[in-house]
Amino acid sequence: MEIKILGTGCANCKTLEKGILIAVEDLKIDAKVEKVEDIIKIMGYGIMKTPGLVINEKVVLSGRVPSVSELKEIIAKHQ
Amino acid sequence: MNLNIIKSRHFQIVILLLPIWFLLYHNLLPFTDWLVFNVFGMTKGEHLTEALWFLIFEFPKVMLLLTLIIFFVGIIRTFFTPERTRKALEGKKTFTGNVMAAMLGIVTPFCSCSAIPLFLGFVEAGVPLGVTFSFLIAAPMINEVAIILLYGLFGLKVAVIYVVTGLTIAIFAGWIIGLLKLEKWVEPWVYETKVGQNGLDDSKISFETRIKMGFEAVKEIVGKVWIYVALGIAVGAGAHGYIPEDFMASLMGKSAWYSVPLSILIGIPLYSNAAGIVPIVSVLIEKGASLGTALAFMMSVIGLSLPEMVILRKVLKLPLIFTFIGVVGVGIMIVGFLFNFIF
């Protein structure tokens, strides 16, 4: 699966990236995690609050940083 | 509403914590008196006693207020997403749009790091530039942290004055920027950017998730601002007992008319959130600064911040940024003079 973190480099975006990396490792799944920092690309996903989380090209979260356990649920749900 | 709410674990935690909160809040004053006068055996009226009492009482009080209000505001905010705000503002052209934008600016979650996607989203949806500015002025300046701290340290009247004047500035500054037709000073790529549809539906969030988001807001905001509150109140406590009462009178008092524009100019490069600046402002006022000057200083520090201008520079050309600072600065100045004149 393909996971993208949308954010222009604010603190919350980094926290989300860290959380995602931990979640992916814990779940032992094969996922490509990518950070999107280009604002034009971010806007292409139509979010107005960063950070955003995109799984397989679908926006699943915007504007908040959930706990690692919730991130695991979200990843599992969209696998 | 259904029974699932009562079964929700987060809801049960809230029901458990609320009485504890009220118990703590209402016993804080007697507890502080008891600790300072009985346990430490300090004498009333001495500088050190006053300073210590201020610190022991004010810090927990403000933190308790912050925690409670941010929690509820966090829940309320799950109903006011930027997407909905944008929808509400679409096609609103005249003055009404500015009024709505400024008021929505208070309740819509906003952080300066999201200013760009928000700006692009608004402009793309056809929200007029002036209306967008009303939102961008109100959102950072009038927020729950500022209101709680003003209420906690100055009382209801000052908190209400701050909100009303802040709204007025946001409405009129945005309206004027709209009248000036400055779209030519928006970076051209803004209008070329295609904003996609994300298909996220925020209206179907469960109540459990909303409560959870309330807790997340507390964790995030209180975790970030407590240190500023602590520092601000510590400075306040130090000044409380030791700096003479009229120390600021000659510098920031009513008689010094130039202090209003000067405070605003000093406030622009100074960047602090409300949590850090309000306790300092409370000291300034206590030591002889007038309300209008102190208010102007505070609004300038919170509302006109250099880091936000740097972020906005990506979408706005310099003349528009300077116009923005100028219009808002003049608005703040009028507020400052007005309150120095009235009070």
Residue A69, domain CATH: 3.40.30.10
Least-confidence region, from B178-182, B227-231, B241-245, B285-289: B241-245
Count of the separate structural domains present in chain A = 1
Contact flag B116-A39 (C-beta cutoff 8 Å)? yes
* Rg of chain B, C-alpha, whole Å: 22
pLDDT number for residue B234: 86
pLDDT, tens only, B203-226: 677 888 889 889 988 988 888 888
* Per-residue pLDDT tens digits for B76-91: 888 888 888 888 888 7
> Tell me, what's the pLDDT at B202?
63
**Reported confidence tier of residue B235, pLDDT bands at 50, 70, 90:** confident
* Interface ipTM: 0.78
Chain A touched by B111 (CB under 8 Å): yes
Contact A13, A51 (CB under 8 A): yes
pLDDT at B135: 93
Which of B3-12, B130-139, B245-254 reaches the highest mean pLDDT? B130-139
| Chain B CB contacts of A50 below 8 Å | 113-114, 117
Please give the Cα distance from A64 to B210 (Å, whole number): 12
Cα separation, A72 vs A74, in Å, equals: 5
Q: Which of B232-236, B262-266, B291-295 has the lowest mean pLDDT?
A: B232-236
Measured CA to CA, the distance from residue B195 to residue B60 in angstroms comes to: 45
What integer is the mean pLDDT of A4-33? 89
Residue B248 to residue B84: CA distance in whole angstroms: 45
Please answer yes or no on whether B198 and A44 come within 8 Å at the CB atom.
no
| pLDDT given for residue B67 in this prediction | 93
Secondary structure (DSSP) of B95-122 = HHHHHHHHHHHHHS---GGGHHHHHHHH
Mutate to test the interface with A, among B85, B114, B313 (most CBs of A within 10 A): B114
The four Cα atoms B16, B20, B21, B25 give a dihedral, to 10 degrees, of: 170
Return the axis-axis angle of helices B144-154 and B156-179, rounded to nearest 10°: 140
A57 catalytically annotated:
no
Query: Residue A72 pLDDT more than 70?
Result: yes
- Inter-residue contact B308 to B139 (CB < 8 Å): no
The average confidence (pLDDT) of chain B is 86
pLDDT tens digits, one per residue of B150-181 = 898 888 998 999 999 999 999 999 999 999 99
Q: Which helix (H) or strand (E) holds A54?
A: strand A52-55
Helix (H, G, I), strand (E, B) or coil at A44: helix
- The three-state secondary structure class of A23 is helix
- Residue B4 predicted with pLDDT over 80: no
Choosing from A3, A5, A6, A13, the catalytic residue is A13
The pLDDT of residue B320 is: 95
CA–CA dist A34, A22 (Å, integer): 14
* Model pLDDT, residue A22: 94
Q: Answer with the residue of higher pLDDT: B18 or B43.
A: B18
CB-count burial class (<10 Å; 0-12, 13-18, 19+) for B120 = buried
Mean pLDDT calculated for residue range A7-25:
89
**pLDDT top residue among B2 and B68:** B68
Higher pLDDT, B42 or B249: B42
Residues of chain B with pLDDT > 70: what percent?
A: 96
The answer to whether B200 contacts A65, with C-beta atoms less than 8 Å apart, is: no
Which residues have C-beta within 8 Å of that of residue B152, sequence separation ≥ 6?
B58, B61, B62, B65
Chain centre to alpha carbon of residue B313: 22
Please report which confidence band the pLDDT of residue B108 belongs to, taking 50, 70 and 90 as the band edges.
confident
Residue A34 phi, psi (nearest 5)? -130, 145
Residue B120 contacts A where some CB pair is shorter than 8 Å: yes
The DSSP secondary-structure symbol of B194 reads P
Give the structural domain span for A42: 2-54+62-77
Answer for the pair A51, A6: CB distance below 8 angstroms, yes or no. yes
Q: In what order do the strands lie in the sheet with A52-55?
A: A32-36, A2-6, A52-55, A58-62
Task: Examine the residue annotation and report whether A36 is marked as an active-site residue of this protein.
Answer: no
pLDDT at B328: 94
CA B320 to chain centre: 24
* A32 sits in which H/E element: strand A32-36
Tell if the CB–CB gap between B113 and A8 is shorter than 8 Å.
Answer: yes
pLDDT for residue B191 is more than 90:
no
Beta strand A2-6 with A52-55: parallel, antiparallel or unpaired? antiparallel
For residues B122 and B132, give the distance between their C-alpha atoms in angstroms, rounded to a whole number.
7
Query: For residue A69, which residues of chain B lie inside 8 Å, CB to CB?
Result: none
